[in-house]
Amino acid sequence: MNNRNEELKRYLQPGRRVHLVGIGGVSMRPLGLVLQGMGMEVTGSDMSASVSTEELVAKGITVHIGHQAENICGAECLIRTAAVHNDNPEIAAARSAGIPVFERAQAWGVIMREYKNAVCVAGTHGKTTTTSMLTHILMAADIDPTVMIGGYLPLLQAGHRVGQGDTILMESCEYCDSFLNFSPTLAVILNVEADHLDYFKDLADVQKSFREFALLSTGGVLANGDDPHTVEALSGTPYVSFGIQPYNRVRAENICPDWRHLDVVCDGQRYCHLDLRVLGRHNAMNALAAAGAAWMLGIPGEAAARGLSTFSGADRRMQFKGRFNGADVYDDYAHHPDELAATIEAVRTMDHNRLVLAFQPHTYTRTKALFPNFVRELKKADVVVLAEIYAARESNLTGISSMDLQKEIPGSIYCQTLPEVTAQLRSLIQPGDVVLTVGAGDIFRAGEALLK
């Protein structure tokens, strides 16, 4: 644990007062509830009132709407979400007063040390789905876990859960080396690819980060033995491998053509049989990782099979949205070429006429860095509608546009706005099509508008 985490540990004690800046956020809200459960006095602030802030108030946490210096009165330390910068009035006031300010990931890293089992699920792709699958298993096994997922899970009616058991499960993101603040007893690595190249220099830099993450684990590592980039990253580091190939300690056998039915074999012994409700090789691999983690935690195979049999997908992961003009409309979060490839491969196992794909690239740096790969994967769809790039945290310093993709994909259609995407889909869709809105931005709104 680094020095900043050691410093924070001294503040996260019963009776001490902490203020959370951005407390309504997806991982800040459960953080506030966990800290309160530890006996701390918790206050917070957010830009606007929401269901999240209302839940916190109902649990006895004081939440200020709007950021003002006086909100931090009495706080011994501050914890902020990544979206809050040093010019925030509360952060500026704390720094001026000598009150220490910590990051959200640092707080979760300290909290993990209080749990017997701290399971951290990492990887360039599949984190949300695999964490969600493992949540289903832990709930089926009556583990009563604390859970933090980067998306909405219907089982929890939220993206988080504050449990009373001895297990915490965290989706763990590599961006800005965030997961290096964590303290896993079991680290799960699904895959390693070149991504977030606005922060990492190249693939080797990403691999270095994942290797450091694996070395943090005090109780074991489960990693994808079929992925050469993962194997290379962990060279010389002990881990339990999972995959399809026979040399893996956790492997899939007797796989059906649509990847929904398979046996999980651990160290040569049948652990369980899986009947999945989600399609595709990528989801079978996610399920294999979740089952492998359950096996390493000592959970019976029967509970793993029962938990995964109830998983029908996380929010925005091949999520069925409805029907329009005789076509099925789905939405998916894929924003990397490899994720696009997996999603398209899964759709091809379905009974349909054409694949109509509405894609919104996510960030200028990713689109530019992986441009040829995006073109290669998008060409696999029958009809492609391109929304303009979703900027997220970036400014367009290179002038790249989705029009550049359109020029490389024959027959594709460029739309500057989401209403234009909806209009194009409305005119293009035929009975028997599968329609996919794809991207990590707000492309889902185009599909929802279509269905309205």
Q: What is the pLDDT of residues 378-408, one digit of tens each?
A: 999 999 999 999 998 789 989 999 999 999 9
**Within 10 Å of residue 450's Cβ, how many Cβ atoms?**
23
Residue 418 identity: L
**What does pTM read for this prediction?**
0.81
Percent above pLDDT 90 for the chain = 79
Low-confidence winner among 158-162, 190-194, 202-206 (lowest mean pLDDT): 158-162
Q: What per-residue confidence (pLDDT) applies to 2?
A: 64
Vertex 408, ends 402 and 409: CA angle to 5°?
Answer: 90
Q: DSSP readout, 361-375?
A: -B-HHHHHHTHHHHH
Residue 282 has pLDDT above 80, yes or no: yes
In the sheet that 101-103 helps form, which strands lie side by side, from edge to edge?
Answer: 62-65, 41-46, 17-21, 77-80, 101-103
- For residue 424, pLDDT over 80 is answered with yes
Dihedral sign from CA coordinates of 366, 244, 283, 173: negative
> What is the predicted pLDDT for the residue at 88?
95
- Average pLDDT for 88-107: 95
Would you say residue 189 has pLDDT above 60? yes
CA 346 to chain centre: 19
Whether residue 1 has pLDDT greater than 70: no
Q: What mean pLDDT comes out for the span 343-365?
A: 92
What mean pLDDT do residues 316-320 have?
A: 83
Nearest to 82 by CA among 393, 372, 331: 393
Angle at 443 between CA 375 and CA 344, to 5 degrees: 45
Mean local confidence (pLDDT), 300-309: 98
Q: For residue 159, what pLDDT band results from cuts at 50, 70 and 90?
A: confident
Average pLDDT over residues 293-308: 98
- Over range 235-246, report the average pLDDT: 97
| Fold of the domain spanning 3-105 | Rossmann fold (3.40.50)
Q: Are 326 and 335 in contact (CB under 8 A)?
A: no
DSSP 230-292: HHHHTTTS--EEEESSTT-SEEEES--TTS-EEEEEETTEEEEEEE-SS-SHHHHHHHHHHHH
Mean pLDDT of the residues in the chain: 94
pLDDT tens string 40-72: 999 999 998 988 899 999 999 999 999 999 999
Amino acid identity of residue 407, one-letter, is K
Q: Which two tokens stand for residue 166?
A: 């001895």
Architecture of domain 115-309: 3-Layer(aba) Sandwich (3.40)
The CATH class given to the 319-451 domain equals: alpha beta
Check pLDDT > 80 for residue 288: yes
By 3-state DSSP, what share of the chain in percent is helix, strand and coil, each rounded to 5? 35, 25, 40
Q: What percentage of the chain carries pLDDT values higher than 70?
A: 100
State the Cα–Cα distance between residues 39 and 56, nearest whole angstrom.
15
In angstroms, rounded to a whole number, what is the distance separating the alpha carbons of residues 376 and 117? 41
Position with higher pLDDT, 65 vs 319: 65
In this prediction, residue 350 has a pLDDT band, given cuts at 50, 70 and 90, of confident
- Geometric angle at alpha carbon 88, from 84 and 94, rounded to 5°: 105
Q: Are 92 and 86 in contact (CB under 8 A)?
A: yes
CB atoms within 10 A of CB 326: 11
How far, CA to CA in Å, does 237 sit from each of 171, 208, 223?
22, 12, 11
Taking residue 169's Cβ as centre, other Cβ atoms within 10 Å add up to 28
What one-character-per-residue DSSP string does 137-200 give?
Answer: HHHHTT---EEEEEEEETTTTEEEE--SSSEEEEE---GGGGGGG---SEEEE----S--TTTS
pLDDT value for 314: 74
Amino acid (one-letter) located at 146: T
3-class secondary-structure state, position 312: coil
CA 12 to chain centre: 26
CA–CA gap between residue 14 and residue 129 (Å, rounded) = 34
The whole-angstrom separation of Cα 210 and Cα 244 is: 22
**Confidence band, pLDDT 50/70/90 cuts, at residue 160:** confident
Tell me: the pLDDT tens digits for 81-91?
877 889 999 99
pLDDT value of residue 261: 96
Spell out the domain ranges in the chain.
3-105, 115-309, 319-451
Query: How many Cβ atoms from other residues are within 10 Å of residue 73's Cβ?
Result: 11
Check pLDDT > 90 for residue 351: no
